[in-house]
Amino acid sequence: MKKFLLALVAVLFVGGLMAQNAPMQRMTKQDAAKIAVTHPQILKGSEYTAVPANFRSMLGNGNSIGSTYYDLQTNGSMAPRMISWPDGTVSATWTTCGPGAMSRGTGYNYFDGTSWINDASSTARLESGRSGWATLAPIGNGEIFASHNGSDALFVGVRPQKGTGDWTITSLYGPTSSTGSASSTCLLWPQMVTNGNTIHLIACTESDPGYLYQGIHICLVYIRGTYDPSANTVAWEAPRVVGDVTPAQVGQFSGDSYSIAANGNYVAILVADSWNDVFLWKSTDNGVTFTKTTIVDSPIADGYTEAATEVLDTPYVADGSCNVALSATGTAHVAFGLTRVLNDVLGDGSYSYFPGVDGLLYWNESMPTITANRNTLDPDTLVAAGYKVFQKLDLDGDDTVWYMNSGNFPSYGVSTTSMPQLVVDGNNVYMIYASTLDYPFVDVNAEAYYRGIFAAKSTDGGATWGEGVGNTSWLSYNKDCFYIDDWANYTMDTYQDCLWIDGENVFPSVAPKVVNNKLNMTWQWDYYAGNEIKENDAAVAGQMSTIYYMQVNVDSIGVYNRISDVYAGQCIDPTSIVNNTLTEMTLYPNPAENMVNIAFSSKETNNATLSIYNLMGQCIYAETVNVMEGSNHLNVNISNLNAGVYMVSVKTAQGTTTQKLVVK
């Protein structure tokens, strides 16, 4: 069981060689959650200073498929940006930008089954003018993207053949929002999915102060379109306010605090910003009609805005980073981060949030909805109530999760654990997310923890998860950054070089379908923890960030880069999962009481480790066994195990096979 210490601890130095830097203190989870950071109401861009260019050659884990000097891929939730095609090809987009701010737009790359077609160092964009916040979806045999130009419309590009040919780009103007004396047709921060030739798009209206549509500021609207493949054109229907909400219910929406998914005739739109109820707007007839479900009845009064008359005193709320996925039968699976907010100066255009709050809530439609009071969404309260909450993990095996005492939390406007992506495939649910790393993965210059990308899975429709150090994959961990247990043995240069190799990994984007037993995903990688939010986004970063691509075999989640193995130096190559030498594990009897038989096949003769883990990820039994090529059979005495569910794993250097064991 992880321990969260109840007092501040002494200053720690890296091998005594970090005395030249500002002291880096660590603190508890409870103290971290008390630190507030002021944030602008609408997030803008981010910039950084340069680091030595030669560090770019140190990327190790995955592929670089794109670049950008713009350090912000989203204000909260990641739009659908990847397509896994049935033939094994992949399309990907991101917000790209060159050294000049006016070059921002939609970056694109395509994997043709052999290689990516575009130069990963290019910052070329699809549009002819400045844009951003791309979203991508399949349409017929081709693909469609949308991005906002920030002034009067969305760019919408279509082409009839994936991966090749010219894009036909048109403008999609929004409904007119007005101040009474001025008007705007601007649409911002789009998200888009498709079903056949039907397009489902959501976006916000004008964000400048005073502009209202249907009485709502920054109004989130749903627009359905129909693609005509013969003409390569889209006909758009009239917009609808998402959730059919009124100004009395929602004073304003927040950019990127929403998510959209489609599967067959099912369409789901999730809204999870800090100021309003968390709700699901779902259609069973391909977007013709919708039904609203309030997942969290917020403790904040309906219609609340930053300029309201009532001070807002630190309730727990959604953090604005969310995701929704749909099963083939239409069940909605939902995730959103958790934080607290404070609005003690009314009408100044800003608020405070608490980035040290750590929690990513998972929910599906089989679970009860939540009526929130000030503390209902406290992550510990949710866990006690039986909800699944993902949190920062103990990565170094010291049985303690540490937080930075400097109060310098990376500024993404979200929880310590957030940025979720969900994929549903049959009864399997996959959660990919970003979370701050444990000591010693620290940006020394910024005195802040780096973030990493993690993956967990449920094999029973989200009822239970194998999340924990023994069952979560640390996808972004770079093996060239060996995990150092005793930093005193290494020089300061080695320490900093090692950490820069691993770096900051954020903004995961995952294609919504499992194809050939694989998930395709990207995330953004750079050297510095966090990003710098500025009111004017004209400037761009002084150094280039990398768009990282990874393909993950779903069977490897909880096996590849398993956290309990990382600090032990036992990481395995993800390709060894695909070509696993161990297969066909069977446990019998199962459920078992005193003895369990373990049968499996091996393609090699080798030593292996037989391990049994509880659902907290703790290894409670391990032994070295001899594995022979061909069929193998082992007997294990489990009479000393308490009744419950366990994971049995047999692992060699070339692969792992794991099965669930029920002890009665």
**390-418 pLDDT, tens digit each:** 999 887 666 777 776 655 676 688 999 99
Look at residue 229 and tell me whether its pLDDT is greater than 90: yes
Gap between the Cα atoms of 185 and 203, Å rounded:
12
Pick the CATH number of 37-566 from 2.50.20, 1.10.3470, 2.120.10, 3.40.50: 2.120.10
Beta strand 312-326 with 332-343 is antiparallel
Tell me the pLDDT band of 648, cut-offs 50, 70 and 90.
confident
Given a contact cutoff of 8 angstroms between Cβ atoms, the answer to whether 306 and 351 are in contact is: yes
Please compute the mean of the pLDDT values over residues 495-517 and round it to a whole number. Answer: 81
Residues of each domain in the chain carrying CATH 2.60.40.3080: 580-663
Gap between the Cα atoms of 284 and 291, Å rounded:
9
Please compute the mean of the pLDDT values over residues 521-532 and round it to a whole number. Answer: 83
Amino acid letter, residue 474: W
Gap between the Cα atoms of 155 and 115, Å rounded:
28
Residues of each domain in the chain carrying CATH 2.120.10: 37-566
Among the listed residues 107, 104, 143, 44, the one whose alpha carbon sits nearest the alpha carbon of residue 548: 107
Q: What is the pLDDT of residue 556?
A: 81
Please compute the mean of the pLDDT values over residues 597-606 and round it to a whole number. Answer: 83
Name the residue with higher pLDDT: 304 or 154. Answer: 154
Please compute the mean of the pLDDT values over residues 513-531 and round it to a whole number. Answer: 89
Which range, of 1-10, 459-468, 557-566, 632-641, averages the lowest pLDDT?
1-10
496 phi/psi in degrees, rounded to 5: -65, -40
CATH architecture assigned to 580-663:
Sandwich (2.60)
For residue 145, what are the β-bridge partners?
136, 157
Look at residue 137 and tell me whether its pLDDT is greater than 60: yes
Look at residue 187 and tell me whether its pLDDT is greater than 50: yes
CB burial readout 112-147, b (16+ within 10 A) else e = eeeebeeebeebebbbeebbbbbbbbbbbebbbbbb
HSE of 399, CA atoms in CB hemisphere, 13 A: 4
Name the residue with higher pLDDT: 364 or 562. Answer: 364
Which range, of 56-60, 158-162, 262-266, 368-372, averages the lowest pLDDT?
56-60
Which range, of 95-104, 246-255, 360-369, 613-622, averages the lowest pLDDT?
613-622
Please compute the mean of the pLDDT values over residues 101-116 and round it to a whole number. Answer: 93
Mean pLDDT, rounded, of the chain? 82
Q: How far is CA 7 from CA 1, 69, 178, 391, 447, in A?
A: 18, 40, 53, 20, 20
Helix (H) or strand (E) holding 202: strand 198-204
Given a contact cutoff of 8 angstroms between Cβ atoms, the answer to whether 346 and 306 are in contact is: yes
Handedness of CA 44, 30, 442, 457 (dihedral sign): negative
Please compute the mean of the pLDDT values over residues 5-30 and round it to a whole number. Answer: 34
**67-76 pLDDT, tens digit each:** 998 888 999 9
Look at residue 114 and tell me whether its pLDDT is greater than 60: yes
With a CB cutoff of 8 Å and minimum separation 6, the contacts of 435 are 360, 390, 391, 392, 393, 416, 417, 418, 451, 452, 454
Tell me the pLDDT band of 15, cut-offs 50, 70 and 90.
very low
Gap between the Cα atoms of 102 and 561, Å rounded:
40
Helix (H) or strand (E) holding 212: strand 212-213
Q: What is the pLDDT of residue 367?
A: 97
